[in-house]
Structure 1
Amino acid sequence: MFLNSFTVDEEGYIHISFINKLLVEGLTLEEAKNQIQKTLNEYFKETTVVLKLVNFKVTVLGEVNSPGSFTIDKEQINLFQALGLAGGMKNFGNGKKVTLVRQTDSGSEVIPLDLTDRNILASDYYYLMPNDMIYIEPLKAKSNIDGSNFTAIAFSSATTILLIVSILLR
């Protein structure tokens, strides 16, 4: 048995020495496998093509403990596994307001998700695709808490100034 791997270039081609190049961009794994198999059958007898996605990247941003891009070395990963790679949601992460950005042939698709809804498990977006980006929004309470700290400091400062002024005026 002979196994070899090929990289898809930026233009969507794989380069096989005796075939030159073969366009696989936009094809599913099964479609690409069938196309490669058909092409190889023209050159060899009894070949078998096994096609697997070796790795791809997903990005997780927003209210997570370790935001960033992650290389996935499995054939698939789901939303919750990707969040786990990013260290999980922070205390102020809003699981009801998650945005998935997916690259398509027609551009970027922006998909709002609610991770607290059980139906997410049956969603077309449960499993991630190469180059997907997940953004976890902060809870509104976080901005209120951040704002209330500023308000408390401002009122405290104003009270202190008024107290000093009243003492000086006596």
Structure 2
Amino acid sequence: MIYLSLLKKITPFLLLILLFSCTPKKDIVYYQNIENLKSQAELTSYEVKIQPDDLLMIIVSAEDPEIAAPFNLKSVAIQYSGKQDAVTGQQTQQLYLVDASGFIEFPVLGKLKVGGLSRTDVLLMLQQKIGIYIKNPIINLRIMNFKFSVQGEVSSPGIYSVDSERITLIEAISKARDLTIYGKRNNILIIREVNGVKSYNRVDITQADFINSPFYYLAQNDVVYVEPNKNKINGAAIGPNTGVIISATSLLIALITLIIRL
């Protein structure tokens, strides 16, 4: 009888802990209601805007290399560290640093305003200006230091760099090895700075319509923060050893039940 009384006292406590640890499916699954989603074609043509401190690789070429040479910087070999926040390998690059006012110093052409422009905009501008000197110039341009950070309830928080010039929120989360089970998927915070002005936006990735959000694609230096859900917060309030308590309590109940049956 003593064991039975103890079992009755412990069971509600165990059920309470298990209740706190349960997460509804709707709070975990991504892209819900995607069958009702209407796509927006303009997102497929999204381009990031160039910002101060961006490193641009710009190479000008022509049928006669000697004619294009004055429009290129002297090649410099750069050794990258290979860390998450750097491009790997040793490469020869024509790198231009965008200053705080959004300008670069370009050979022959002088100061050019590129801040706030897309890659396509800058290419058109360069083709027009260089086209005065060179017939049919070929211009290649890439943003070399596109980076973002992912913080909070993800498996691998940190600062990440990518070789491409755009990345989606889901791809960024994948870089951080996805959200933990404790990540709040319906209220992801994205902090963005444009021309010195910070903006904040919340995104719900459990609903498919976030694909049409202006924050579906990340911008340079975006910060993605994933809040802990109520289970993580409640677990912290109960104590860091909740899992151990549940396991020990379950074992104790099993032993008591076995003893009662003997």
TM over 0.5: yes
> What's 1:6 paired with?
95
Change in Cα spacing, 1:45 to 1:2, as seen in structure 2 (3 Å) is closer
Alignment of 1:9-158 (within 5 A): 9-11=98-100, 12-105=102-195, 107-149=197-239
TM-score, with length taken from structure 1:
0.79
Listed one character per residue, the Cα deviations across residues 128-157 of structure 1 (whole Å, up to 9, x for unaligned) are 11111100000012111111128x9xxxxx
Asked if the contact 2:61/2:137 (under 8 Å) is kept, the reply is no
Q: Could you give the per-residue CA deviations for residues 45-77 of structure 1, whole angstroms, max 9, x where no partner exists?
A: 221334333340011011111111101111211
Unmatched 5+ stretches in structure 2: 1-59, 63-71, 73-93, 243-262
Cα distance in 1 for partners of 2:163, 2:145 equals 4
- Of all paired residues, the percent bearing the same amino acid is 29
Separation of aligned partners in 2, 1:46 and 1:146: 64
* Structure 1 segments of 4+ aligned residues over 6 angstroms from their partners: none
SS at match of 1:18: coil
Instruction: Say what the alpha-carbon RMSD is for the aligned residues.
Output: 2.1
Equivalent AA in structure 2 for residue 132 of structure 1 = D
Give the structure 2 partner of residue 163 of structure 1. none
Distance in 2, matches of 1:8 and 1:27, equals: 15
Q: Which residue of 1 aligns with 2:12?
A: none
Matched residues in 2 for 1:82 and 1:120: separation? 15
Query: Where in structure 1 are there 5+ consecutive unaligned residues?
Result: 153-170
State the secondary structure of the residue aligned to 2:199.
strand
Q: What's the secondary structure of 1:94's corresponding residue? A: coil
User: Which amino acid in 2 is paired with 1:69?
Assistant: I
The Cα offsets for residues 97-142 of structure 1, whole Å up to 9 and x where unpaired, read as 1001111236111001101010011222111111111000000121
Partners of 1:122 and 1:9 lie apart in 2 by: 30
Task: Give 1:13 deviation, angstroms.
Answer: 2.2
* SS of match in other structure, 2:133: coil
- Does the CA contact (< 8 Å) of 1:6 and 1:14 recur in 2? no
- Bigger RCO of structures 1 and 2 (CA < 8 A, at least 6 apart): 2
2:98 maps to a residue whose letter is: D
The DSSP-based 3-state class of the residue aligned with 1:26 is coil
Q: Cα deviation per residue 1:5-58 (whole Å; 9 max; x = unaligned)?
A: 432323322332222221101112222111111211222222133433334001
